[in-house]
A and B are shown apart, each in its own frame.
Chain A
Amino acid sequence: MKRLRDKFKPYRFVLLIAVLLVFSLILLSQSLQTAQDFTNTYGALLLINLLGAIILLAWLAFNLWQLKQDIVRQTPGSKLQIRLVGVLALLIGIPMLVAFFFARHVIHQSVENWFDTQTEEVLQDALTLSRSLLDLKTRDSLNRLEGLIQLNKEGLISQPTFTLTAVAEMLGDRNTDITLFSSAGQVIATASIDTINTNNLLPQPLPENILQQVRQGTPYAALDADPLSDGTVSSFIRIVLPVRDPNQRIPSLLQAQFHLPDELRQQTDRVSKANAQYQTLAFLREPLKTSVTINLALVVLLTLLGAVLAGIQATRNFIRPVSELTQGARNIAKGDYSQRLETDRHDELGDLMHTFNDMAEQIQKSRDELRRSQLTAEGQKRYLQILLNQITAGVLTCDPKLRLRTANNAASRLLGTSLDSHIGLSLNELLEKHSPLSPFLEAIESAAQELAPQSEKAWENQISIDAADSRHILMLRINRLPDLLHTSGGLLVVFDDITAIVQSQRYAAWQDIARRLAHEIKNPLTPIQLAADRMRYRLLDHLNEEDARILDRATHTIIQQVDSMKRLVQDFSDFAKSPKVVMQQIDLNNFIQDMAIMYPLTDKQRMRIQLQLDHQCPHIIADLGRLRQMFHNLIKNAIEASEKEEKPSLIISTQCDKEYLNLTFSDNGPGIPEDLRLWIFEPYSTNKPKGTGLGMAIVKRILDEHQASISIGSNDPQGARINVSFPLNPKG
């Protein structure tokens, strides 16, 4: 029962309006027929029906507007619904219109068939015959009355009452009233024979028009009707004649009222009534057609509107599952797999909706599985990424087309550029952006060419790339990545900066050489110098002037060269030494001020040393002796580099931040060429004719012992700028 109620729920408004309109139409029809109770409400009923039609029309317009909006919004099923509604409207409308015009034609024809020319003529003839009969009777009565008046006119004047009774008896007609009026219309005498008008004890006065007519000498004879007290009309023949005296004057008027015999009266009344009814019907022929047409049109219009509206609702109900299915499919296409359709239908559409729900559930399950797998994979990928970022070696991968796929933080750090923003770029594109990486990228391309697909061997090589202020040595190990499709996989590139290792190895080698040189050379130098001195001391005075001069010059040269070799050996010795550093808290500013005092301005030493110290800088932890050696080397380099300057100067400055104390040496010399900056810290690398090439190598080594870094740049407007950064909190 509830299901039935639910099914009819959408139609309740249509049903309500339809029932009301049908009821109203019935009343309307009744009011046009016989039911007198409804006659006064005809206009209201017509208005109600029209209002109902207008409401239905408005509702239909609203529904059509909704359909249009649905089409504009591309609501699922809207086009199908408008098509169904159109078809339904045509299927309902065309037969109804045909039925309307057919019914109208039949009704009009039926109305026309009521009327028959022959019947009309017969009725008219009957009426004419009745009139002729009555006229004949009237004329007969007139003639007889005129004859009697002629015979009794003297008596009517002299003895009116007696004579009037005698005239009545002579007439011999039953149901006759005779009245004698004066010329002024006053009743003089009256006589009745078997009159049926017993209510009228006194005769009615003569109507003024009859009185005037007869006073002028013209008789009056006609079928008249007198209203009775009961509301009916009494039909009678009225004859009014003038009564003339011998002088042809008219002293009185005689009226005779001949009441018609019952049989004749009934017959003529029936003829009159039948004719009147027929004439009424004939007159009402067109209005009747109009009324019927209007009522029929109302019925058709309301039925059509109700049917179309019900059809719209029915198609809406029919289309709803289709719309829901379409919308559900769209939602699933958009990724909403939680879509489920509610239905209590038990037909094919209901089965389809249940199947759709099953399908959506299966898709959702599969999608959840896939998502879980993706999450697991992403977790593993993140875990791997974290691991990769934690290791110090650079790791990057390329796809088979040598496009960068992944890179860890160490790779970006070692290559001096953020690779995250270059993911997806090919090696060539990467090369266009970062030309210094050319050796690195070329190595990868070489490896890609050399490593066969599915090869498990590793391609290894050592390359150098130039950074802004130094040259880095990278060790590369490149492997083919496995590919699930068993085609040529990508590349896994693992690399590390081995500059420090190589440098350490080189230092160790140089230290070994220096130690051997110092040991092999230093020992014979002193006997050589002493032998030269003794030779000079013993022989100089015993030789002639020329030989003495040669000896002096030769020994002097020997002694000078030995001194030079001693200094060289001392440098070797210093470089080869690995003294134990003694770290302590040092106020670097005070240390610098003390060092500056050791280089006063003299004729020989023309360089002016200026200090720009940040006195807020904290102490650093350093070995005082090693620090002094580093300062000495750097100041000495600056002095030697600025020898040719007119006003050589050196600015030593300090500046601190949270992590580092930055020490800067800025001179106004010729500066250090850029190509030299890359290997200036290598032992025996110098561009000075008398230099040993160990000064900066020693400086670098001392700074490495202090976990400090050094960089070389240019001074403005000229000269070199050497920056040294001491960590305020060194490790270990």
Chain B
Amino acid sequence: MRYWLLLSILLTTFSQALWADVTRATPLLPSIQGQQLVVDGQVTLGMTPTMEKALLHGIAVEYSIQVTLIDPEQWFWQNTLASKKMRVRLSYDPLKQTYLLSNLTLSRLNTDRDLSRALTTLGSIQSFPLIAIEKLQANKAYALQLEVRLERESLPNALRLSSLLDSEWRVNLSGHQQPWTYQP
């Protein structure tokens, strides 16, 4: 398989969305807090056995969680009204046998001994400020888009190429959209 990488790399690079994702997400819950549109939600970050093995071997895994507000009436290249990204990192301490949970965007650090709980904690979206409501039109239909991406550049150099080609490293969530109408 290794020798076919040259031929398959283009397909694998540009066809990520065709593969089944293991990352799951509950619907986003938008709300107005003060003069801001904020969203809450819960993402269960994907973790395949290979990734878990890498984690236990001391390799940190980083995810980016991006929430985007879209105006569906615009062309796709100019329909983004607001976009916010949160970057999180998960690593493992073999001595303490504890997972370290880092929210790089909010500069928060937690520990947890349970992996699934750690993934849920990292994927928690709480009061995520998106856009000032003054920029929104009342009773207009918008769309909220959630994207979760494994940040490959944070992986060790030797692992980057393999992660591009190995389906065990495909945990991205894309195309997760839900309509939302701004009602003041």
Given A50-B6, A227-B111, A279 contacting B57 (CB threshold 8 A):
yes
**Cβ proximity bits B88-100 to A, threshold 8 Å, 1 near / 0 not:** 0000011110101
User: B109, B110, B157: which contacts A39 (Cβ < 8 A)?
Assistant: B157
Among B21-29, B37-45, B158-166, B173-181, the stretch in contact with A: B158-166
- Minimum CB–CB distance from A272 to chain B (whole Å) comes to 4
- Minimum CB–CB distance from A555 to chain B (whole Å) comes to 145
Q: Confirm or deny: B35 has a beta carbon within 8 angstroms of a beta carbon on chain A.
A: no
- Minimum CB–CB distance from B52 to chain A (whole Å) comes to 11
Q: Find the B residue at minimum CB distance from A282.
A: B57
User: Are B58 and A227 within 8 A (Cβ)?
Assistant: no
User: Are A294 and B95 within 8 A (Cβ)?
Assistant: no
- Minimum CB–CB distance from A115 to chain B (whole Å) comes to 13
User: Are A131 and B162 within 8 A (Cβ)?
Assistant: no
Q: Confirm or deny: A290 has a beta carbon within 8 angstroms of a beta carbon on chain B.
A: yes
Q: Confirm or deny: B32 has a beta carbon within 8 angstroms of a beta carbon on chain A.
A: no
Please report the C-alpha to C-alpha distance between residue A31 and residue B110 in the assembled complex, in whole angstroms: 31
CB within 8 Å of B: which A397-417 residues? none
**Cβ proximity bits A36-76 to B, threshold 8 Å, 1 near / 0 not:** 00011011001100100100000000000000000000000
Q: Confirm or deny: A293 has a beta carbon within 8 angstroms of a beta carbon on chain B.
A: yes
**Cβ proximity bits A267-293 to B, threshold 8 Å, 1 near / 0 not:** 011011001110110111011101101
Q: Confirm or deny: B156 has a beta carbon within 8 angstroms of a beta carbon on chain A.
A: yes
Among A218-226, A454-462, A495-503, the stretch in contact with B: A218-226
User: Are A275 and B59 within 8 A (Cβ)?
Assistant: no
User: Are A283 and B59 within 8 A (Cβ)?
Assistant: yes
A interface bracket (residues with beta carbon within 8 Å of B): 35 or more
Please report the C-alpha to C-alpha distance between residue A291 and residue B153 in the assembled complex, in whole angstroms: 15
Please report the C-alpha to C-alpha distance between residue A235 and residue B9 in the assembled complex, in whole angstroms: 43
Given A233-B111, A291-B161, A294-B161, A279 contacting B94 (CB threshold 8 A):
yes
User: Are A31 and B6 within 8 A (Cβ)?
Assistant: no
- Minimum CB–CB distance from B114 to chain A (whole Å) comes to 9
Q: Confirm or deny: B53 has a beta carbon within 8 angstroms of a beta carbon on chain A.
A: yes
Q: Confirm or deny: A200 has a beta carbon within 8 angstroms of a beta carbon on chain B.
A: no
Q: Which residues of B contact A33 (CB under 8 A)?
A: 157
User: A43, A283, A287: which contacts B53 (Cβ < 8 A)?
Assistant: A283
Q: Confirm or deny: A297 has a beta carbon within 8 angstroms of a beta carbon on chain B.
A: yes
CB within 8 Å of B: which A466-509 residues? none
* Interface-central residue, B3, B158, B159, by most chain A CB under 10 Å: B158
Q: Find the B residue at minimum CB distance from A38.
A: B157
Please report the C-alpha to C-alpha distance between residue A286 and residue B111 in the assembled complex, in whole angstroms: 30
User: Are A293 and B2 within 8 A (Cβ)?
Assistant: yes
Given A32-B157, A50-B6, A223-B96, A276 contacting B162 (CB threshold 8 A):
no
Q: Which residues of B contact A43 (CB under 8 A)?
A: 13, 164
Q: Which residues of B contact A293 (CB under 8 A)?
A: 2-3
User: A131, A275, A279, A284: which contacts B159 (Cβ < 8 A)?
Assistant: A284
User: Are B161 and A290 within 8 A (Cβ)?
Assistant: yes
User: Are B162 and A287 within 8 A (Cβ)?
Assistant: yes
Q: Confirm or deny: B82 has a beta carbon within 8 angstroms of a beta carbon on chain A.
A: no
Q: Confirm or deny: A127 has a beta carbon within 8 angstroms of a beta carbon on chain B.
A: yes
User: B6, B93, B98, B156: which contacts A298 (Cβ < 8 A)?
Assistant: B6
- Minimum CB–CB distance from B166 to chain A (whole Å) comes to 8
Please report the C-alpha to C-alpha distance between residue A32 and residue B164 in the assembled complex, in whole angstroms: 14
* Interface-central residue, A131, A224, A291, by most chain B CB under 10 Å: A291
CB within 8 Å of B: which A224-265 residues? 224-228, 231, 233, 235
Q: Is the interface of A mostly helix, strand, loop or mixed?
A: helix
* Interface-central residue, B54, B57, B159, B161, by most chain A CB under 10 Å: B161
Given A43-B164, A291-B161, A294-B6, A280 contacting B109 (CB threshold 8 A):
no
Q: Which residues of A contact B157 (CB under 8 A)?
A: 31-34, 39, 42, 291
User: Are B58 and A276 within 8 A (Cβ)?
Assistant: yes
User: A42, A272, A283: which contacts B95 (Cβ < 8 A)?
Assistant: A272
Q: Confirm or deny: B10 has a beta carbon within 8 angstroms of a beta carbon on chain A.
A: yes
Q: Find the A residue at minimum CB distance from B92.
A: A276
User: A223, A231, A235, A280: which contacts B58 (Cβ < 8 A)?
Assistant: A280
User: Are A286 and B162 within 8 A (Cβ)?
Assistant: yes
Q: Which residues of A contact B109 (CB under 8 A)?
A: 227-228, 231, 233
CB within 8 Å of A: which B139-165 residues? 153, 156-164
User: Are B162 and A47 within 8 A (Cβ)?
Assistant: no
Q: Confirm or deny: A130 has a beta carbon within 8 angstroms of a beta carbon on chain B.
A: yes
CB within 8 Å of A: which B1-19 residues? 2-3, 5-6, 9-10, 13
Given A224-B111, A272-B95, A50 contacting B10 (CB threshold 8 A):
yes
Q: Which residues of B contact A268 (CB under 8 A)?
A: 95
Please report the C-alpha to C-alpha distance between residue A46 and residue B157 in the assembled complex, in whole angstroms: 13
User: Are B110 and A227 within 8 A (Cβ)?
Assistant: yes
**Cβ proximity bits A11-45 to B, threshold 8 Å, 1 near / 0 not:** 00000000000000000000111100001101100
- The 6 A-B pairs of least Cβ separation, nearest first, read A227-B109, A276-B58, A272-B95, A283-B57, A287-B162, A288-B158
Give 10 A-B pairs besides A275-B94, A277-B58 with Cβ atoms closer than 8 angstroms. A42-B153, A223-B95, A225-B100, A227-B110, A235-B96, A279-B56, A279-B57, A279-B58, A293-B3, A294-B161
27 of the cross-chain contacts (CB-CB < 8 Å) are: A32-B158, A32-B161, A40-B153, A42-B153, A127-B94, A134-B95, A225-B98, A226-B111, A227-B109, A228-B109, A233-B93, A233-B111, A235-B96, A272-B93, A275-B58, A276-B57, A280-B57, A283-B53, A283-B54, A284-B59, A284-B156, A287-B158, A290-B5, A291-B160, A294-B2, A297-B3, A301-B6
Chain A interfacial positions (CB closer than 8 Å to B)? 31-34, 39-40, 42-43, 46-47, 50, 53, 127, 130-131, 134, 223-228, 231, 233, 235, 268-269, 271-272, 275-277, 279-280, 282-284, 286-288, 290-291, 293-294, 297-298, 301
